[in-house]
Amino acid sequence: MDGKKVLFVGLGFYNYDSAIKATLDEMGYDTVYATSLVDLGVTGKLFKKLCLGAINRRRADKRVWQNILASRTDNDIIFVIKGENLTRRHLEYLKQKNPKARFILYLWDNLGKIHNRDILLPYFDKISSFDPSDCLCHKDFFFRPLFYQKKGSGSASYKYDISFIGEDRPGRYRFLKKVASLLPSDKNVYFRLKSSVLRTVIDKITGHRLCNNLKLPYDEFCQVTDRSKAVLDIVEENQSGLTMRTIEALAMGKHLYTTNREIQNAPYISPSSFTVLDVDKPVLELGKEGGQDAGFYEYYSLRHCLSDILE
SS (H, E, C) 187-227: CCEEEEEECCHHHHHHHHHCCCCCEECCCCCHHHHHHHHHC
Of residues 308 and 61, more confidence is placed in 308
Residue 239 has pLDDT above 70, yes or no: yes
> Mean of the pLDDT values across residues 60-88?
85
Nearest to 251 by CA among 166, 153, 163, 158: 153
Q: Would you state the pLDDT for residue 215?
A: 85
Q: Give the sign of the dihedral formed by CA 27, CA 29, CA 32, CA 36.
A: negative
Residues 120-144 have pLDDT tens digits of 999 999 999 999 999 999 999 999 9
Residues 105, 80: contact at Cβ < 8 Å?
Answer: yes
3-state secondary structure of 139: coil
pLDDT at position 45 = 53
Query: How far is Cα of residue 59 from the mean position of the Cα atoms in its chain?
Result: 25
- pLDDT category at 238 given cuts 50, 70, 90 is confident
Q: Are 84 and 57 in contact (CB under 8 A)?
A: no
**pLDDT tens per residue, range 170-215:** 899 999 999 999 999 999 999 999 999 999 999 899 888 899 988 8
Residue 237 predicted with pLDDT over 90: no
By mean pLDDT, which of 54-63, 110-119, 133-142, 227-236 is the weakest? Answer: 54-63
pLDDT at residue 41, rounded to an integer: 53
- Residue 3: its pLDDT value, please? 85
Query: What ranges make up the beta strands (E) of 36-135?
Result: 77-81, 102-107, 126-129
Output the pLDDT for position 61. 66
Q: How many CB atoms lie within 10 A of CB 276?
A: 15
Mean pLDDT, all residues of the chain: 89
Q: pLDDT over 70 for what percent of the chain?
A: 89
Residue 40 confidence (pLDDT): 47
Q: In whole angstroms, give the CA distance from residue 39 to residue 54.
A: 15
The number of CA neighbours under 13 Å toward the Cβ of 228 is 26
Query: What is the number of other CB atoms lying within 10 angstroms of the CB of residue 284?
Result: 18
Residue 75's nearest CA partner among 148, 9, 141 is 9
pLDDT at 27 over 80: yes
Confidence of residue 150 (pLDDT cuts 50, 70, 90): confident
Q: Determine the pLDDT at residue 15.
A: 85
Residue 146 has pLDDT above 70, yes or no: yes
**Cα(15)–Cα(281) distance, integer angstroms:** 36
Helix residue ranges per DSSP H, 141-293: 172-182, 197-205, 218-226, 244-251
E strand spans, 71-130: 77-81, 102-107, 126-129
40-70 per-position pLDDT tens digit: 454 545 445 555 456 656 666 677 767 787 7
Burial class (CB in 10 A: 0-12, 13-18, 19+), 31: buried
**Residue 272 pLDDT level (bands cut at 50, 70, 90):** very high
| pLDDT of 59 | 63
The pTM score is 0.88
Calpha distance 85→44 (Å, rounded): 14
Question: What is the three-class DSSP state of 259?
Answer: coil
